[in-house]
Amino acid sequence: MPTLSRSIIHSDFERNRAAGLELRPEADLWRARFTAMACPCEVLIDTHEELVARHAAISVSEEAWRVERKFSRYLTDNIVYAINTASGRKIEVDNETARLLDFGVSLYQASNGLFDITSGVLREVWHFDGSDRLPDATAVRNVLKLVGWQRVRWSAPLLQMPTGMEIDFGGIGKEYAVDRASQLGSVAGGVPLLVNFGGDIAATGPRTDGSAWKVAIESVGPNQPTPMVELKRGGVTTSGDARRYLLKDAVRYGHILDLHTGWPIRDAPRSVTVLEANCTQAGVLSTLAILQGRGAENFLRKHKVTYWVNR
Amino acid sequence: MTQTVTGPSGKKTTTIAPGQTPVNKYFKDTRGAVKATWSQPLGDVWRLNLGGSVSLEDDFKSLGANALMARSFNEQNTTVSGGLSYEYDSINPIGGVPDPLSVVPATGGTSPVAHSRTKNIKGALIGVTQVMNQNWLVQMNFSYGSSSGYLNDYYKQVSVIESQTMMPMPQGDPLYQIYENRPSTRSQRTIYLRNKVYLNGNVLDISYRYGWDTWGVRSNTLGLRYRWALSDHFFMEPHLRYYRQSAAYFYRRGLLNSEPVPEFVSADYRLAGFTGRTIGLEFGTDVRKGNWWPAGTLTLRLEHYTQTGGSDPQVNIGVQQNFSLYPGLSANIVQVDYSFGF
């Protein structure tokens, strides 16, 4: 464990506890809980020592909240707000934002435009509340004019977007936070740990006794046994959400939109779970798989990854 | 992990596993070309050569003309020649001319800045051919070429590579591609020297070429041929060729995403520093006139070519170290020719 005075850890811990961080001992580990990025977050810390657990938990929660503050589209004092309200002006971005934008561009190219960090504006017309209220086709067409990375001028560190377009790191920010926070927490505590932010998971290494972390996959289906993943090192993510859809004339409209048409991807799985080397890689593959619609399983087989699909 | 490369036509995406060379399965091109030359003696010592060419492809049209005057001295033992050439090209990429240095858009997203672009190429040449004695001929040329206009290859893209650790993509992973951009002018100069020596009916041919241009490409070519007459109607000709060039100043194998995009950048392997070696053997035999063919010469050429080089240490970071980025290439060539006069 890195040398750090107990009093500093204590005061940092109190500050984080005030922000919602809880830490409890269990039989053979410590479990931390907090809320970030609008979802429940947990950290399983493979230690018996409370001080080690505190140090690791603080690192994880602070990194999660930092990434949230910096990249949330709901805040009005961060870089995403500055970009989205620039009205066609050039915005200079910092290095971390530039690298995340680069990552977004790589997914845009890899998915042939089906994944696009400028697609968030479609939320203005699509409300997946379980009702039968489909949007007007003209409204969808109009909003679609504001989607498309090819309309963005990006030459680091300068970003220029037409007025009305928005960027949204929602599709990549959480996995990025999981990978970063788990690494930082593991280094801070000097012990293996598992981070789970709303179902996006990363484990930094096998437990000290050599055993694997055990992760249940809840989303496979109501009448099927819950698969269990033995995770020693790597990431697990689940894309899709069975609760977010519209239902009209017996047709189910899932919330994954085809950015070429502005309408839901047809025959998309309700959820896809992927196990990969880290959380981001898993997230990329589970997201891209859903975007393949009926071809999701083929896509996953082609990439030779461990996956579970719920249709 | 996979890399992805968009196709030149911009219509399909191909996924390439690491370690594989990306080859575009959807590449299609049709080319038709006509070339004509006319040679006319003007009196005893002057000769005029005129030529013209037309080439039409789906995305490329070219018109060219050239003229060469030669005069002989010393009872035909010395020939001095001078020539000029001009070529006009029109380039019409499918999907339009892309915006240089911009991110290559995905399918459905297009950002062409024009339908077509043009370029022109002017050339001049002076040369001397000297008969040294009845078994020895020396040839010397100096040529100058100047290109201007759209010199980009709109099919060529440059990968932008993750430069940092602790980012979503591993350090060294290619993230995406941008279109290349080259300067709009290029002048090239070449010196060429050739010796032909006749040895008991066999011919030894040694040539050397040195070229240099305003893009920083300097090249040396050394050629050696020995035409070995095995009988009056059959010959064997082994040959060796060594070629080495330095990289253009704006050549990059890839760009790091931490660096500003330079004004000019290309990852075209033809602008890289590399060494090419050719070893070959040619067989030829005279063929008498038959019922269905005219009299002529039939030749078979076998060649083996290897190329090494093209390195760019700046992008050899992170996961890139797991792969050979400069695996080199080799090719085997078999060619059969039948030439005849009419």
pLDDT of residue B316: 67
B48–A contact, CB cutoff 8 A: no
Chain B's closest residue to A148, CA to CA, is: B109
CB contact under 8 A, A106 and B169: yes
Domain membership flag for residue B206: yes
One-letter amino acid of B7:
G
Least confident of A219-228, B97-106, B126-135, B202-211: A219-228
- How far does A289 lie from chain B, in Å, by closest CA? 14
- What is the reported pTM? 0.81
Would you say B331 and B302 are in contact if contact means Cβ atoms under 8 Å apart? Answer: no
pLDDT of residue B17: 57
Beta-strand pair B112-114/B157-161: unpaired
CB contact under 8 A, B166 and A180: yes
Backbone angles phi, psi at B263, to 5 degrees: -65, -40
* Continuous segment of H or E residues that includes residue A175: helix A170-189
Domain membership flag for residue B282: yes
Domain encompassing residue B241: 182-342
Chain B's closest residue to A177, CA to CA, is: B168
pLDDT of residue B11: 39
Domain range A212-311, its CATH number among 3.90.580.10, 3.20.20.60, 3.10.520.10, 3.40.50.2300: 3.10.520.10
Q: How many CA atoms lie within 13 A of A197 on its CB side?
A: 27
Least confident of A10-19, A39-48, B7-16: B7-16
CA A4/CA A7 separation, integer angstroms: 8
Query: Most A CBs within 10 Å: which of B26, B157, B166, as the mutation test of the A interface?
Result: B166
Cis amide linkage into residue B313, ω under 30° from 0: no
- Reported as a single tens digit per residue, the pLDDT across A257-305 is 888 899 988 888 888 999 999 999 999 999 899 999 999 999 999 999 9
Facing residues of B287 across strands? B296
**Residue corresponding to tokens 């941008």:** B178
Of A103, A109, A113, the CB nearest to B108: A113
pLDDT of residue A28: 92
Least confident of A200-214, A272-286, B7-21, B295-309: B7-21
Beta-strand pair B255-256/B157-161: parallel
What percent of chain B is predicted at pLDDT more than 90? 61
- Reported as a single tens digit per residue, the pLDDT across A23-71 is 999 999 999 999 999 899 999 999 999 999 999 999 999 999 999 999 9
Q: Which residues contact B270 (CB under 8 A, 6 or more apart)?
A: none
Instruction: Tally C-beta pairs within 8 A across A and B.
Output: 81
Where residue B319 falls among pLDDT bands split at 50, 70, 90?
Answer: low
Asked whether residue B8 carries a pLDDT value surpassing 80, the answer given is no
Other Cβ atoms closer than 10 A to A266: 12
Q: Which residues contact B170 (CB under 8 A, 6 or more apart)?
A: B1, B162, B318, B319
- Reported as a single tens digit per residue, the pLDDT across B143-201 is 999 999 999 998 889 999 988 887 777 788 889 999 999 999 999 999 999 999 999 88
Query: Most A CBs within 10 Å: which of B175, B177, B179, as the mutation test of the A interface?
Result: B175
Token reading at B35? 């070339």
One-letter amino acid of A112:
N
Q: Which residues contact B225 (CB under 8 A, 6 or more apart)?
A: B203, B204, B205, B206, B237, B238, B239
ipTM (interface predicted TM): 0.79
CA A11 to chain centre: 30
Sort out which chain A residues have CB atoms less than 8 A from B106's CB and list them.
108-109, 111-114, 149-150
Least confident of A39-48, A198-207, A224-233: A224-233
Facing residues of A8 across strands? none
One-letter amino acid of B235:
F
Other Cβ atoms closer than 10 A to B188: 18
Least confident of A226-240, A275-289, B24-38, B292-306: B24-38
Sort out which chain B residues have CB atoms less than 8 A from A110's CB and list them.
2, 4, 13
CA B94/CA B116 separation, integer angstroms: 10
Chain B's closest residue to A184, CA to CA, is: B166
Q: Domains of chain A: which residue ranges? A: 6-72+174-198, 75-168, 212-311
CB contact under 8 A, B106 and A111: yes
Helix (H, G, I), strand (E, B) or coil at B79: strand
Domain membership flag for residue B70: no
B181 DSSP assignment: B
- Mean pLDDT, residues B11-24: 52
CA A15/CA B271 separation, integer angstroms: 58
pLDDT of residue B176: 92
Chain B's closest residue to A183, CA to CA, is: B166
- Mean pLDDT, residues B226-252: 94
Chain B's closest residue to A182, CA to CA, is: B166
Of A280, A272, A279, nearest to A301 by C-alpha is A272
Least confident of A63-67, A109-113, B324-328: B324-328
CA B79/CA B77 separation, integer angstroms: 7
Asked if the A75-168 domain carries CATH number 1.10.3980.10, the reply is yes
CB contact under 8 A, B101 and A155: yes
Sort out which chain A residues have CB atoms less than 8 A from B258's CB and list them.
95
Q: Nearest-5° angle of CA B217, CA B222, CA B225?
A: 150
CA A52/CA A141 separation, integer angstroms: 54
Of B252, B223, B250, B228, nearest to B239 by C-alpha is B223
Cβ-based burial of A184 (10 A; exposed 0-12, middle 13-18, buried ≥19): buried
Backbone angles phi, psi at A144, to 5 degrees: -60, -25
B339–A contact, CB cutoff 8 A: no
CB contact under 8 A, B160 and A155: no
pLDDT of residue B324: 60
- How far does B176 lie from chain A, in Å, by closest CA? 5
- Per the structure, the count of domains in chain B is 1
CB contact under 8 A, A99 and B110: no
Q: Which residues of A touch B (CB under 8 A)?
A: 95, 98-100, 102-103, 105-106, 108-114, 148-151, 153-156, 172, 175-176, 179-180, 183, 260, 280-281, 284, 303
CB contact under 8 A, A175 and B168: yes
B282–A contact, CB cutoff 8 A: no
